[in-house]
Structure 1
Amino acid sequence: MMQIHDLKLKEDVLPFFNFTNNTYSEEQLLYLLTTPPVTEAEVRDRTTVIKGMLANWAVMENFTYRKLDLLEVHTFMVAIAGTGLNKKKLQSWLRLKTSETERQQLQSKLVQLIQLLNGLQAQYLNRLNSAVFPEQFKSDLVRTVSFLNSLNLDKLANQVLEHRFRVRDMIKFSEQLSTLNQDEVSAFWDYFFTFEAYWSVAKATLVHGFTFPGFSDDNFSIGDFYHPIVKSPVRNTLLLEEDKNVLLLTGPNMSGKSTLLKAIGLCVYLAHVGFTVPASTCTVPYFNTIAIAINLNDNLRDGYSHFMAEIENLRKVVRSTENSQKCFAVFDEIFRGTNVDDALDITQTTINGLTKIKGSYFLISTHLLQLEEQLHSSSYESIKEYFIECVLENETPRFTYKLKEGWSQLKIGRILFEQVGLSELLGK
């Protein structure tokens, strides 16, 4: 189960990874970002592809092409493949001989195709060290290069350069393109768009200074993490021990709890799609389920109130840990949809139950400050308490956005209420 809607991957995260030059590659990048592989081995393969791109960066650093050329070549190849124009060789030859307009149009399309694909092959694909890529990606690369070799692009490019690309050459090349298998052409373009999507992630890694994550069953540590959408972000570090699998986060309103939880959730999620992460270090267990509940709203279509949406989300999370499956879940201000007494009671029950689910990790933020005394009077040894620092200077809150161990009992609601003059207004 992947419940990651609240990470806003397309709106907030995709732009940081998107250096693609056409809509098809961008769609493939979005697919990679929003579709976690099924197994840990497949995740590692994705990461290896990105590392392979970086290992070939001397070749790939200036990877580029004219966007319009690519889109037109793609449309032309898809349209002509499998049409079998070789059956109309005489008619084609006669028409091209007698119609200068048709001859020029076809020549323009063929020359555009030859120059674009030959340039991509000669400048980039032929120069790659394929040994650094995982087997499937390397196999697809070899197949792609073989496909381009079958078109004799280098020879044709020389003919174009020397102005020797004549009518008979145009007809011959058109026939060759028309007899290409449509599935083979589709496979070529699918690979190219995937290739560019991976290149885009590699470039983002260098541009933003993202780092490669790792998996470890007994290690949950993320160093100097941040959310990339925040300007001038404060970086924090989180370490959770295997026997302390529940993080309880406190801090006043506007201290940055939701943003911090999103940043942690994003690092964990990106690790599971094989991407690099906004942190200096990141090692987490491999989770079967990731559930991020930051902005859990009422589900009007199903008739759920906010509280029932929280209950249903918690039920799904707990059920996902059956059969020794590992889960990472975030609950922002859990049970804020019900009254304080109920929330306090069921939060304790929830925390107590989650601490027993070993191998899974749960991050919970709360405004229920009464929990501190009750938790300390109980045997909650599996809880890690953190708070986001906020200091009062001359009765004015200053938010540092720093994550610290311990518990915050700071209340600033009344202070802000007074500062904006509501007491005076309401007193009138």
Structure 2
Amino acid sequence: MLEKDILPLFDLTNNKLARESLLNLLSEPLISQQSIIERQNLLLELKTLTPIFKGYNYPPYPFYECCNFLEQTKYKTSFSEKSLFQFKLWKRSNREIYNPLYSGISNIIVFFFPLYDKYYARISGEQYPSFKKTIHIIKNFLERFDLAENNYAIRSGTFTDKKILRILQVVDTIKTEKTFAHFLDNFILFETYISIACAIEKNKFTFPEFSENIFSVDEVYHPAVRNCVSNSLSTNKNVILITGSNMSGKSTFLRSVWLCVYLAHVGLAVPALGFTLQFFDKIFISIDHPDDIDNGLSHFMTEIKALKMVVEAAATGRCFAVFDELFKGTNMEDALWVSNKTINGLKKFSNSYFFISTHLHALDEDIDRNTVDDFFLESIVVENTPKFTYQLKRGWSNVKIGKILFEQEGLIKLLE
């Protein structure tokens, strides 16, 4: 789900290094509520930069060319001590070395000038304390190349030997001091966070709040689903059952809630108007378990193992878990028995939350509404045709549309 559902929401990066950095950030939920709040504050600070960095983009290939040039080991020829006269003499007799050097420094200037002029020159580290050091490192590195003056010189054909030698001496110093790697680390870090901040602003996501024993989400939706219907839910119980007919939107709703919980724990904003939750030590999602052929495990057995992992986590800390169509991999009788055992057993882990969708209508008669919350995704049948509102409502759904869909596809006539 990470690369398919989450990464595209925040990926406004321009190169593979920043994309990998973003993916690593998204892959690691933070270890405390305090660290989450710190990242939220950092992103709120950077959100004020989004009017400047809106539309920040560049083709990746010239970027890689600049990186390759600056990452090369020092050339045999050193320009640090060369006079202009010595440089001119060297240039005449070393064209095969000079030409790629000229191409390399020209690429640096032509590539970085518009980025510096349009974006980085307009910001100051003093304005953004969380990124003060990073911004200074980026700007100081780029300013060593006198980008505006040399870009004009290249464009106007006045890039003289004196200017060229000066840039080659700067490159020599960078290679000797090995400062490019430090610049690149900070450049990629800044691009990663700017990508997130701009995406949050673009998508109008909201930063969640943390509070003990509260789980409330307002107008949550799944941003990857076109025209997704938003829903709200608030509960003071730790086991929440979700019912609804086939195609009513149960899986989408569960993914939406899980997505918000996960993003909250990475310190990011969420696709909802508001979200309040407690801090969880572990976050699980169990949707579409396939058979594990390599280990000889059936669908049902993979469900059992996933549940065991969640229960063990809940026994030692706070966890949030989503189970979609729990125990659909076994027969109805067994599924009903183990579902009852599971629901009643999970209630005792009061510091954890468990969202479970189910297709077992008989559970309606067994659950204790005093300790378990139940909601359903609405669907109605009008003139033997199912209609889906995708609206979440409190209560239990016993609407069945399997036979209707079977008949609508003409399978009864085909099979008779």
TM-score, scaled relative to structure 1: 0.87
**2-structure distance, mates of 1:89, 1:205:** 50
- Verify the 8 A CA contact 1:93 1:168 in the aligned structure 2: no
Aligned to 1:167: 161
**Match of 1:15, SS?**
helix
> Structure 2 residue aligned with 1:387, among 368, 373, 376?
376
Aligned to 2:405: 416
- Verify the 8 A CA contact 1:223 1:236 in the aligned structure 2: yes
- 266-275 vs 394-403, which moves further: 266-275
**2-structure distance, mates of 1:409, 1:225:** 24
Aligned to 1:261: 254
- Whether 2:199 is the aligned partner of 1:210: answer no
**1-structure distance, mates of 2:116, 2:147:** 9
Paired residue type of 2:31? V
Aligned to 1:426: 415
**Match of 1:249, SS?**
strand
1:204-233, Cα deviation, whole Å (9 max, x unpaired): 223322222222223212111111121111
Aligned to 1:345: 337
Aligned to 1:190: 185
- Verify the 8 A CA contact 1:89 1:171 in the aligned structure 2: no
**Match of 1:86, SS?**
coil
Aligned to 2:139: 145
Cα separation, partners in 2 of 1:272 and 1:85, compared to 1, 3 Å? farther
Once the two structures are superposed, the pairs formed by residues 10-21 of structure 1 within 5 Å of their partners are 10-21=3-14
**2-structure distance, mates of 1:370, 1:131:** 63
- 209-218 vs 337-346, which moves further: 209-218
> Structure 1 residue aligned with 2:221, among 226, 230, 233?
226
Cα separation, partners in 2 of 1:132 and 1:303, compared to 1, 3 Å? farther
Aligned to 1:3: none
Paired residue type of 2:396? W
Q: How far off is 1:149 after superposition?
A: 4.2
Paired residues in the alignment total 412
Paired residue type of 1:219? I
- Verify the 8 A CA contact 1:48 1:134 in the aligned structure 2: no
> Structure 1 residue aligned with 2:171, among 177, 180, 186?
177
% of aligned pairs identical? 37
- Whether 2:298 is the aligned partner of 1:309: answer no
TM-score, scaled relative to structure 2: 0.89
1:49-92, Cα deviation, whole Å (9 max, x unpaired): 33222212332224344544322212211125x55742796697
What residue ranges of structure 1 are gaps of 5+ in the alignment?
Answer: 1-7
1:339-370, Cα deviation, whole Å (9 max, x unpaired): 22221111111111211112211000111111
- Verify the 8 A CA contact 1:226 1:234 in the aligned structure 2: yes
**2-structure distance, mates of 1:216, 1:184:** 44
Cα separation, partners in 2 of 1:357 and 1:227, compared to 1, 3 Å? same
- Whether 2:279 is the aligned partner of 1:286: answer yes
Q: How far off is 1:397 after superposition?
A: 1.0
**2-structure distance, mates of 1:125, 1:84:** 33
1:225-252, Cα deviation, whole Å (9 max, x unpaired): 11112111111111122xx011101111
Once the two structures are superposed, the pairs formed by residues 54-93 of structure 1 within 5 Å of their partners are 54-80=47-73, 82=74, 85-86=77-78
**2-structure distance, mates of 1:132, 1:286:** 31
- 195-204 vs 101-110, which moves further: 101-110
**1-structure distance, mates of 2:60, 2:326:** 48
Paired residue type of 2:38? D
The alignment yields a C-alpha RMSD, in angstroms, of 2.7
**1-structure distance, mates of 2:126, 2:358:** 50
**Match of 1:113, SS?**
helix
**2-structure distance, mates of 1:208, 1:87:** 50
**Match of 1:317, SS?**
helix
